[in-house]
Amino acid sequence: MSISPELLLRLEMQDLQDRYMAAIDEDRLEDWPKLFVEDCLYEIIPKENEDAGFPAPVMYCDSAGMLRDRVISLRNANIYAQPHYRHFTSGLTCRMEDGEVVMTSSYVVINTHTDGSSFVYQAGSYKDRVVKTAEGWRFKAKRVVYDTLRVQTLLAYPI
Amino acid sequence: MSISPELLLRLEMQDLQDRYMAAIDEDRLEDWPKLFVEDCLYEIIPKENEDAGFPAPVMYCDSAGMLRDRVISLRNANIYAQPHYRHFTSGLTCRMEDGEVVMTSSYVVINTHTDGSSFVYQAGSYKDRVVKTAEGWRFKAKRVVYDTLRVQTLLAYPI
Amino acid sequence: MSISPELLLRLEMQDLQDRYMAAIDEDRLEDWPKLFVEDCLYEIIPKENEDAGFPAPVMYCDSAGMLRDRVISLRNANIYAQPHYRHFTSGLTCRMEDGEVVMTSSYVVINTHTDGSSFVYQAGSYKDRVVKTAEGWRFKAKRVVYDTLRVQTLLAYPI
């Protein structure tokens, strides 16, 4: 049978989200910036601020170069204990708008402490803009809006 | 390549579940009843009761009108602090039976407290019946069977 | 529209993972060994050991017969309280290698205690090898590499 353009787009977006999560969770951080176009936006922002229209991101990068710098510093700095993240997404919705894909999904990150216990680290939603490039779909913007205000550790690693 | 009818049905069912979860998690509660046919069943029932063949649902609605009423009362009542739910599903299985889709999946709901911490609120399984309408696939029945007997807050919001 | 071979393979692998999780979570343990070829590997191993190249699995089965034996003993032994597991996966990546599918995904298992509370039981990653048989895709190897070192209960049930 043939598949509708809408379902095919969903599949391609799910594939992109899975590549994103796998890059972080399988400790291939160097692959993370490759999923963005050069002229991109990546920010992490508390839902409280987002809802109040008061943007005060706790992390803000406006180019893939800044994402690569962040990876380099995470690899070289010893001040951060490396987390063991596992990302999960759901509720993916997407639609085309001005030649870009506008995508929303819920996420939860499970972290495993150095003491060996696993717990819910952070929940929230991804608000993404995705564009088609010669290398495939890439994030033009990824806005991470988190519900969990009581974040236990420094937000140094990508969500 | 072409896709088998079974895999295409899976994709369409996953899309329906995602719309369901997104409506609740993105605070578009008014879209929630629209995913059901008018003559529908929605109930939340503890697994203990389900396994014992002793149906005593903690929430029971047998029409889309009752679902709409519930949304209106949730929007207008001030007695419930609005939760920040994030739904996740997995293990989707589905098959056709008498022209309806019989679907099962596991779910977990992560909630974020007013104190800002996120935790596992409830786990269980969805037992659904889905029918094709002129507007697309709709739930004829959604039975929410929960494992988590120690539910911390009133079950006022849809799961 | 037509679907690419890569996306079709993803869908088929997701379907296999969902069948796997549903067999365990819906208490159809007898269906669990049927998802493996006879000459298979199933092991559960701490990530610490995996990373150190020091394989010391806490569970090790090298045939579907051993998996069936395990199910029989779980069904007959009264020494284990049966858990209420709910499995979730994400970040699925897969590729063909020597006629087999090499697949990786993250997982989290939510468990519900006998006291009725639900919590994160274990997180980690599945490292799978999948082959095509006359009955469909089957696991040739499933290696469960867990992050969560502080596992609260005996690892008797399959993850």
- pLDDT tens track, chain C, 159 positions: 899 999 999 999 999 999 999 999 999 999 999 999 999 999 999 998 888 888 788 899 999 999 999 999 999 876 667 789 999 999 999 999 999 999 999 999 999 987 888 999 999 999 999 999 999 999 999 999 999 887 656 678 899
Distance separating alpha carbons of residues C47 and C5, to the nearest angstrom: 32
Residue C55 is predicted with a pLDDT of 77
What are the residue ranges in chain B where pLDDT is below 70? 78-80, 151-154
Nearest chain C alpha carbon to A84: C147
Residue A114: phi, psi to the nearest 5? -65, -20
- Listed residue (A127, A87, A86, A59) closest to B26, CA to CA: A127
Best residue in A118, A120, A137, A152 for a mutation probing chain C (most C CBs within 10 Å) = A118
CB spacing of B3 vs C5 below 8 angstroms: no
Residues of B in contact with A93 (CB under 8 A): 18-19, 22
CB spacing of B119 vs A120 below 8 angstroms: yes
Cα B22 → chain centroid:
11
CB spacing of C106 vs A15 below 8 angstroms: no
Residue C8 is predicted with a pLDDT of 96
Q: Which chains touch C (3 or more CB pairs under 8 A)?
A: A, B
Nearest chain B alpha carbon to C19: B91
Residues of B in contact with C86 (CB under 8 A): 90-91, 106-108, 123-125, 147
Residue A94 is predicted with a pLDDT of 97
- Listed residue (B96, B128, B126, B92) closest to B109, CA to CA: B126
CB spacing of A118 vs C107 below 8 angstroms: no
Residues of B in contact with A88 (CB under 8 A): 88
Size of interface B-C (CB pairs under 8 A): 80
Spatial CB neighbours of A56, under 8 Å, sequence gap ≥ 6: A45, A46, A49
Distance separating alpha carbons of residues C148 and A117, to the nearest angstrom: 5
- Listed residue (A128, A9, A23) closest to A85, CA to CA: A23
A34 within 8 A of C29, measured Cβ to Cβ = no
Query: CB A65: neighbour CB atoms within 10 A?
Result: 13
What are the residue ranges in chain A where pLDDT is below 50? none
The minimal CB distance from A108 to the residues B4, B88, B115 is found for: B88
Spatial CB neighbours of C6, under 8 Å, sequence gap ≥ 6: none
Residue C148 is predicted with a pLDDT of 82
